[in-house]
Amino acid sequence: MIRACIFDMDGLMIDSEPLAMEAWQAALRPFGHSIDGTLFEQMLGLRQTECAMLLRDHFHLPLPIEALTRQRNDTFLALLPGRLRAMPGLHELLAELRARGVKRAIATSGERRYVTTVIREMELEGTFDAMVVAEDVTRGKPAPDVYLLAAQRLGLPPAQCLVLEDALNGVAAAKAAGMTCVAVPNPLSRSPDFAAADKVMPSLLAVRDNLDALMG
């Protein structure tokens, strides 16, 4: 029986992927490069240092990944105020989970200062029982570490956790952790094959409406 719901954040809880793309494009612009949709799909779910490594190797960039990550993060954080939007159904799903007494956690590839900004901007303080961010684990998604640590902080075995994800790397991480995973694709992740997920649903509202079946 499912006793907790663990949320990815970017592209799942909030419509942040377009802002992330904008920030990466700005970081690459001085080098004459840009990211297409196929390359961006490979980046979804990865930590920012891993995204920077992928881009550095792909474009043969002449700078350390730390510098590229810093440029992207500074631009990204400057874009956030007033532009963050909850994905459809987020608040309704959270309210239903709370009413049912289901524990809630975030397990994200985002860095702590960014996640803290999102929680504040979206007025979600006190909503989650546990949170795991990029700095908390050695390995990012698709390794299972963020989800295993989230379960540990919730005090539950992985088999009692339902994960909501929008990216292939995140689905792989959830399944490697031994958890049930529902993929909720967003407009930037609708083309990948989510066959590894236990279910694919069109929105968080659909997840709310199917909780009885999902929680078994």
Structural domain tally of the chain?
2
Whether residue 189 is predicted with pLDDT greater than 80 in this model: the reply is no
Same structural domain for residues 97 and 188? yes
Query: Domain containing 25 — which CATH number?
Result: 1.10.150.240
Tokens read off for 82 = 């007033």
Same structural domain for residues 95 and 149? yes
Tokens read off for 216 = 């078994």
Confidence of residue 88 (pLDDT cuts 50, 70, 90): very high
What are the tens digits of pLDDT across the range 24-58? 999 999 999 999 988 988 898 888 899 999 999 99
Confidence of residue 190 (pLDDT cuts 50, 70, 90): low
Give residue 118's domain range: 4-15+84-215
Same structural domain for residues 111 and 45? no
Query: Domain containing 124 — which CATH number?
Result: 3.40.50.1000
Residue 152: per-residue pLDDT: 98
Same structural domain for residues 103 and 209? yes
* Euclidean distance between CA atoms 73 and 36, whole angstroms: 19
Give the torsion sign (CA, 197, 202, 204, 209).
negative
156 vs 49 pLDDT, higher one = 156
Tokens read off for 74 = 């500074």
Could you give the residue numbers annotated as active site? Answer: 8, 10
Q: Which of 26, 56, 79 is the last residue in one of the domains?
A: 79
Output b/e per residue, 187-208; b: 16+ Cβ within 10 A.
ebbeebebeebbbebebbbbbb
Residue 77: per-residue pLDDT: 87
Contact by Cβ (8 Å): 2, 161: yes
Q: Which of 61, 79, 97 is the last residue in one of the domains?
A: 79
Q: Which of 79, 106, 125 is the last residue in one of the domains?
A: 79
Same structural domain for residues 106 and 122? yes
Q: Walk across the sheet containing 103-107 and list its strands.
A: 130-132, 103-107, 4-7, 161-165, 180-183, 199-200
Choose among 143, 187, 144, 147: nearest CA to 4: 147
Residue 44: per-residue pLDDT: 85
Same structural domain for residues 57 and 105? no
What residue spans of 60-167 are helical by DSSP H?
Answer: 65-79, 90-100, 112-121, 145-154
Contact by Cβ (8 Å): 69, 56: no
Choose among 83, 93, 112: nearest CA to 13: 93
Q: What's the predicted TM-score (pTM) here?
A: 0.86
Same structural domain for residues 135 and 210? yes
Same structural domain for residues 199 and 139? yes
Tokens read off for 39 = 């390359």
Section 61-71 average pLDDT:
91
Residue 191: per-residue pLDDT: 67
- What proportion of the chain, given as a percentage, has pLDDT over 70? 99
Same structural domain for residues 101 and 59? no
